[in-house]
Chains A and B, each alone.
Chain A
Amino acid sequence: MSELTTTDAAELGRLLTAGEVSAVDVTQAYLDRIEAEDGAIGAYLHVDAEAALRSAEQVDAARADGGALGPLAGIPLALKDVVVTEGVPTTSGSKILEGWRPPYDATLAARLKTAGTVLLGKTNMDEFAMGSSTENSAYQVTRNPWDHDRIPGGSSGGSSAAVAGALAPWAIGTDTGGSIRQPAAVTGLVGHKPTYGSVSRYGLIAFSSSLDQAGPMARTVLDAALLHEAIAGHDPLDSTSIAAPVPVLAESARRGAEGDLAGLRVGVVTELGGDGHTDGYEAGVLARFTETVALLESLGAEVRPVSCPAFDLALPAYYLIAPSEASSNLARFDGVRYGLRVGDDGNRDLDEVMALTREQGFGPEVKRRIILGTYALSSGYYDAYYGQAQKVRTLITRDFTTAFDGDDGHGVDVLVSPTSPTVAWPVGARVDDPIAMYAADLCTLPASLAGVPAISVPCGLSDGLPVGFQVMAPALADDRCYKVAAALEAAQDAARGSRFLDQLPVRSAA
């Protein structure tokens, strides 16, 4: 394995800027590795080596001409296939979009292009981002680089496997209920779900509009912060985009890495794996979590338990709101304008062709959620389901506000929990049990419903598999997530004497 493919993105940026390596060298190293390894991992749905090398050459040429290039120029990148890319196949993991080549770029794709990053390819995902194992992809199973018999998490499992498996230095994922954080946790990555509205959704194929957020998945906290900064910021094409300046994230990560958390007030959410709420949580996960909370204390943080009672209702609320929005967002896939069309043989009428197209184009989990959402929005049921779920959402948001502001003005700065109740499970173990699959998002759903930022950072191994630690912060305080995560990462790396991913069996073997 080329050393370039285990080098952090920040370091790659330094090497590229210093002219010590070329963008073509780095890109070729990754393409070689994808060629050799992705057959076993299955992280990518689409790789265009020629196009990647062409962009790398352009960056090198621009650098040779003395052009002013940004710090990310020449660093390769993978995009979750939910991100619309001009001229590059985009499927959202669904057969219904097979072969679609979009005529436009998502805002974040355009920003990354402008920053000079090199697109390696589009990564596998659960169909329309619905799932926690990437097994709902209509195309292929993706393997966890830590153990090929296990899932890489989901729905951004192609991105997590690519980054953990050294098939990309970093990647973009999207998170609706945990789809960045949970795959990051189970593959040993840093994954951040930004404040809702802080990264443009223009060009993300919508699953649940009020929840979807794109964010970085990376090997280090600093890398995640750098990638996040490149995609953040107001976008006039997204009405829900917040008109606030791009937060200073990389600097927060650097400061956090200095390891001083003195005075930081940390709330441990009781409802997420705390006393009386440990059902479904693996002992190894809880053990790593407890150790990490202690580590925070040792770095100077003041830790106390915080109860957020409405969090218990996050799962049912989420599984009404997200499917409701999805049932509407996915209505456009009717076979009329793009993608799959089934049964248009001149004998069937419009309704039959639409129905056949959707029947064959959507997988079972997508159909399950469309049906659920359609039901929840039906007249006569709306108030009881969608309406009630929105009220729960308000209560969850209020729990966050109370925790952060405090009853007496002395709230906590961040809330922490495990990222997911379990480590990566064996491929196939939960495919017939949707409820067990949904439970993987238990800890990530509250931040999604409240629109607040949350990061997952590795906090050790359980049975040789990565465990994630989640840090949640108030809206627009993404910098706190990075600071705390960076402090933990630095302390753990120091104690271990190596980076977290260096423990990957395949790397130790290499």
Chain B
Amino acid sequence: MSTTDRLVDFDEVLTRYEPVMGLETHVELGTASKMFCGCSTTFGAEPNTQTCPTCLGLPGSLPVANAAAIESTIRIGLALGCRIATWARFSRKNYFYPDIPKGFQTTQYDEPLCTAGHLDVEVDGETYRVEIERVHLEEDTGKNLHVGGSTGRIHGADHSLIDYNRAGIPLVEIVTRPIPGAGAKAPEVAKAYVTELREILVALGVSEVRMEQGNLRCDVNTSLAPIGSLEWGTRTETKNVNSLRSVERAVRFEMRRQAALLDEGVAIRQETRHFHEDTGSTSPGRSKEEATDYRYFPEPDLVPVAPDEEWVASLLAALPELPAARRTRLSDEWGISPTEMAWLVNAGAVELVSETVAAGASPADARKWWLGDLARRANDTGTELGELAVTPKQVAELIGLISAGTINDQLARQALDGVLAGEGDPAAVVEARGLAVMGESDELVGAVDAAIEGNPDVADKVRGGKVQAIGALVGAVMKTTRGKADAATVKRMLEERLVGS
């Protein structure tokens, strides 16, 4: 790991260099069967149980293209405003590696399904247009498990195991054109792009897009050029950046690292780099790859794909409401400004809030909880908001308990602790932990009377008109009830007894 890399302070990088990025995003489609055979795509099965002659590349086996995967790819292309090919072909990308069972990957080369689209992303109120070069369909590789080394990488391992369950799962690759002009916002634009792309994929329902399961993987290209330079710099490709936060960190790190080299007059090497989640740094990968000639040629085992124009038009017409349009609509419905909506987007909370509202909470309450307490907890644990162990339905239930006066905000936070700890739904946690706010129960009446009796001086002051003195009595009641009482209720009960009405 390259802990020895000299890094330039990020703000300083921008005083001398202009970044250009490019992103290649791989999305595993959520089809029931693999790209070229009928094997299941279910995640987490016993190794090599979801295989057949075709996805194992056995001699004599042949591929048959998955129509659902082609349809999903075209829908992604349409959602990104791409031109859909009337004639597309699969090609073979030839190289030797044990995780590709045929000795080539079936992919698309010069005749992809979708080209020339774009995706607008917003960062701090400014819109950046990311041009999409192409969207194409290919097959995933198997998974290597290197055993015996300390790093899990092939270097130092004494043997390797291969799981072909993943081999042949349909993979859509979405390639951007180079993204110049983002300047200091480059890392955030990169993150916003992947975030928005993920939202679109979710809206289309084409993939589970679970980054921790590798459903969505990013390769991030970064280069720097001196400000004002007409030519772009040499880029590095940071592979397998597998969370939204990491996308931002990877760009930031590469900018800082490359700036330090360029400052010293060292040329950037065009190379593949690995991203390290723990340190947020990158390190060089195998340098051998640049010599590879993939010898692409049209896959003779598959017939060309010729999407019918009418069919494509019907797919376009049937696209669901896309996230950008949806956000505009929700902003109106929730009565919030574009900036407030942007906060929700950046926090990855639009869908969560929407679902919470759908489960009965008010938009204001839903936003308050997701952006407040829940966002803080996600941040503390370094996870994405959506990965917290609480569902929008549970949050809505929590908010409902507050509205009903069963609990107050402080108790709600304790209830949330319980939910996140896996103790059950909010109501059950409130019950089990005894968190419910006391109504005018005998216990509370007793506590109020005791407070008056125990503080006769204060009580007299209140009776005499110094109403603000009542706070001390409220505090006494809250103390004896260990916070379970509702302060407003206590205040009212004290007033009834001391001030009359």
Bound form: Cα–Cα A392–B302 in Å = 21
Contact A204 B60 (CB under 8 A): yes
Contact A324 B58 (CB under 8 A): no
Of residues 70 to 90 in A, which have CB atoms within 8 Å of B's CB atoms?
A: 83-84, 90
Q: Is B102 an interface residue (CB 8 A)?
A: yes
Hey, which chain A residues are within 8 Å of B301, CB to CB?
A: 206, 209, 239-240
Interface residue stretch chosen among B73-81, B90-98, B437-445: B90-98
Q: How far is the CB of B395 from chain A (nearest CB, A)?
A: 48
Partner of B102, one of A84, A331, A346: A331
Contact A205 B60 (CB under 8 A): yes
Hey, which chain B residues are within 8 Å of A328, CB to CB?
A: 92, 94, 103-104, 295, 297
Contact B102 A103 (CB under 8 A): no
Hey, which chain A residues are within 8 Å of B56, CB to CB?
A: 337
A103-B53, A209-B300, A378-B293 are known contacts. Are A338 and B103 too (CB-CB below 8 A)?
A: no
Q: How far is the CB of A175 from chain B (nearest CB, A)?
A: 16
Hey, which chain A residues are within 8 Å of B98, CB to CB?
A: 334, 336, 350
Q: Is A505 an interface residue (CB 8 A)?
A: no
Of residues 318 to 333 in A, which have CB atoms within 8 Å of B's CB atoms?
A: 324-325, 327-328, 330-333
Bound form: Cα–Cα A97–B158 in Å = 26
Partner of B101, one of A106, A325, A332: A332
Residue of B nearest to A104 (CB): B53
Residue of A nearest to B159 (CB): A346
Q: Is B389 an interface residue (CB 8 A)?
A: no
Q: Is A139 an interface residue (CB 8 A)?
A: no
Contact A97 B96 (CB under 8 A): no
Hey, which chain B residues are within 8 Å of A354, CB to CB?
A: 96
Bound form: Cα–Cα A240–B57 in Å = 18
As a 0/1 sequence over residues 370 to 413 of chain A, the CB contacts with chain B under 8 angstroms (1 = contact) are 00001001110010001000000000000000000000000000
Q: Is B403 an interface residue (CB 8 A)?
A: no
A210-B300, A324-B297, A350-B98 are known contacts. Are A332 and B59 too (CB-CB below 8 A)?
A: yes
Hey, which chain A residues are within 8 Å of B162, CB to CB?
A: 336
> Total number of A-B contacts with CB less than 8 angstroms?
103
Hey, which chain B residues are within 8 Å of A237, CB to CB?
A: 62, 64
Hey, which chain A residues are within 8 Å of B60, CB to CB?
A: 83-84, 102, 106, 202-206
Residue of B nearest to A202 (CB): B62
Interface residues on A, range: 35 or more
Bound form: Cα–Cα A350–B92 in Å = 22
Bound form: Cα–Cα A240–B299 in Å = 11
Contact A236 B64 (CB under 8 A): yes
Q: How far is the CB of B19 from chain A (nearest CB, A)?
A: 30
Hey, which chain A residues are within 8 Å of B297, CB to CB?
A: 324-325, 328, 377, 382, 386
Contact A102 B58 (CB under 8 A): yes
Q: Is B342 an interface residue (CB 8 A)?
A: no
Partner of A238, one of B62, B96, B102: B62
Q: How far is the CB of B230 from chain A (nearest CB, A)?
A: 28
Q: Is B214 an interface residue (CB 8 A)?
A: no
Contact A331 B94 (CB under 8 A): yes
Q: Is B63 an interface residue (CB 8 A)?
A: yes
Q: Is A28 an interface residue (CB 8 A)?
A: no
Contact B61 A377 (CB under 8 A): no
Q: Is A369 an interface residue (CB 8 A)?
A: no
Contact A334 B58 (CB under 8 A): no
Residue of A nearest to B302 (CB): A239
Q: How far is the CB of A192 from chain B (nearest CB, A)?
A: 21
Of residues 83 to 121 in B, which have CB atoms within 8 Å of A's CB atoms?
A: 92, 94, 96, 98, 101-104
Of residues 137 to 176 in B, which have CB atoms within 8 Å of A's CB atoms?
A: 158, 160, 162
Residue of A nearest to B65 (CB): A239
Bound form: Cα–Cα A351–B160 in Å = 14
Q: Is B303 an interface residue (CB 8 A)?
A: yes
Hey, which chain A residues are within 8 Å of B65, CB to CB?
A: 239
Contact B96 A338 (CB under 8 A): no
Q: Is A92 an interface residue (CB 8 A)?
A: yes
As a 0/1 sequence over residues 165 to 205 of chain A, the CB contacts with chain B under 8 angstroms (1 = contact) are 00000000000000000000000000000000000011111
A102-B58, A204-B60 are known contacts. Are A377 and B295 too (CB-CB below 8 A)?
A: yes
Q: How far is the CB of B91 from chain A (nearest CB, A)?
A: 10
Q: How far is the CB of B21 from chain A (nearest CB, A)?
A: 26
A331-B96, A331-B103, A332-B101 are known contacts. Are A239 and B62 too (CB-CB below 8 A)?
A: yes
Q: How far is the CB of A112 from chain B (nearest CB, A)?
A: 15
Hey, which chain B residues are within 8 Å of A100, CB to CB?
A: 59
Contact A332 B295 (CB under 8 A): no
Hey, which chain B residues are within 8 Å of A97, CB to CB?
A: 59
As a 0/1 sequence over residues 263 to 307 of chain B, the CB contacts with chain A under 8 angstroms (1 = contact) are 000000000000000000000000000000101110011110000
Of residues 105 to 147 in A, which have CB atoms within 8 Å of B's CB atoms?
A: 106
Bound form: Cα–Cα A84–B297 in Å = 26
Contact A90 B62 (CB under 8 A): no
Q: How far is the CB of B103 from chain A (nearest CB, A)?
A: 2
Hey, which chain B residues are within 8 Å of A386, CB to CB?
A: 297
Of residues 28 to 68 in B, which have CB atoms within 8 Å of A's CB atoms?
A: 53, 56-65
A206-B60, A237-B62, A386-B297 are known contacts. Are A337 and B303 too (CB-CB below 8 A)?
A: no
Contact B295 A378 (CB under 8 A): yes
Q: How far is the CB of B102 from chain A (nearest CB, A)?
A: 5
Bound form: Cα–Cα A350–B144 in Å = 13
As a 0/1 sequence over residues 301 to 333 of chain B, the CB contacts with chain A under 8 angstroms (1 = contact) are 111000000000000000000000000000000
Residue of B nearest to A350 (CB): B98
Bound form: Cα–Cα A239–B61 in Å = 11
Q: How far is the CB of A344 from chain B (nearest CB, A)?
A: 10
Hey, which chain A residues are within 8 Å of B96, CB to CB?
A: 331, 334, 351, 354
Bound form: Cα–Cα A417–B302 in Å = 32
Hey, which chain A residues are within 8 Å of B303, CB to CB?
A: 239-240
Q: How far is the CB of A241 from chain B (nearest CB, A)?
A: 9
Hey, which chain A residues are within 8 Å of B302, CB to CB?
A: 239-240
Contact A338 B58 (CB under 8 A): yes
Bound form: Cα–Cα A322–B293 in Å = 20
Residue of B nearest to A373 (CB): B295
Hey, which chain A residues are within 8 Å of B63, CB to CB?
A: 239
Q: How far is the CB of B136 from chain A (nearest CB, A)?
A: 18
A209-B301, A377-B295 are known contacts. Are A84 and B59 too (CB-CB below 8 A)?
A: yes
As a 0/1 sequence over residues 209 to 239 of chain A, the CB contacts with chain B under 8 angstroms (1 = contact) are 1100000000000000000000000001111
A239-B301, A240-B303 are known contacts. Are A205 and B59 too (CB-CB below 8 A)?
A: yes
Bound form: Cα–Cα A206–B58 in Å = 11
A240-B303, A377-B94, A382-B297 are known contacts. Are A332 and B62 too (CB-CB below 8 A)?
A: no
A202-B60, A205-B60 are known contacts. Are A334 and B103 too (CB-CB below 8 A)?
A: yes
Hey, which chain A residues are within 8 Å of B300, CB to CB?
A: 208-210, 240, 325
Most chain A CB within 10 A, of B58, B59, B158, B160, is at B59
Bound form: Cα–Cα A346–B157 in Å = 11
Hey, which chain B residues are within 8 Å of A346, CB to CB?
A: 158
Bound form: Cα–Cα A104–B53 in Å = 8
Bound form: Cα–Cα A236–B37 in Å = 11
Q: How far is the CB of A210 from chain B (nearest CB, A)?
A: 4
Bound form: Cα–Cα A435–B238 in Å = 49
Hey, which chain B residues are within 8 Å of A377, CB to CB?
A: 94, 295-297
Of residues 345 to 383 in A, which have CB atoms within 8 Å of B's CB atoms?
A: 346, 350-351, 354, 374, 377-379, 382
Residues of B within 8 A of A (CB): 53, 56-65, 92, 94, 96, 98, 101-104, 158, 160, 162, 293, 295-297, 300-303
Residues of A within 8 A of B (CB): 83-84, 90, 92, 97, 100, 102-104, 106, 201-206, 208-210, 236-240, 324-325, 327-328, 330-334, 336-338, 346, 350-351, 354, 374, 377-379, 382, 386
Pairs across A and B, CB under 8 Å, 22 listed: A104-B53, A104-B61, A106-B60, A204-B60, A206-B59, A208-B300, A239-B62, A239-B63, A239-B303, A324-B297, A331-B102, A331-B104, A332-B59, A332-B103, A333-B59, A336-B101, A350-B98, A351-B96, A354-B96, A377-B94, A378-B295, A379-B295
* Nearest 5 interchain pairs by C-beta: A331-B103, A209-B300, A377-B295, A210-B300, A84-B60
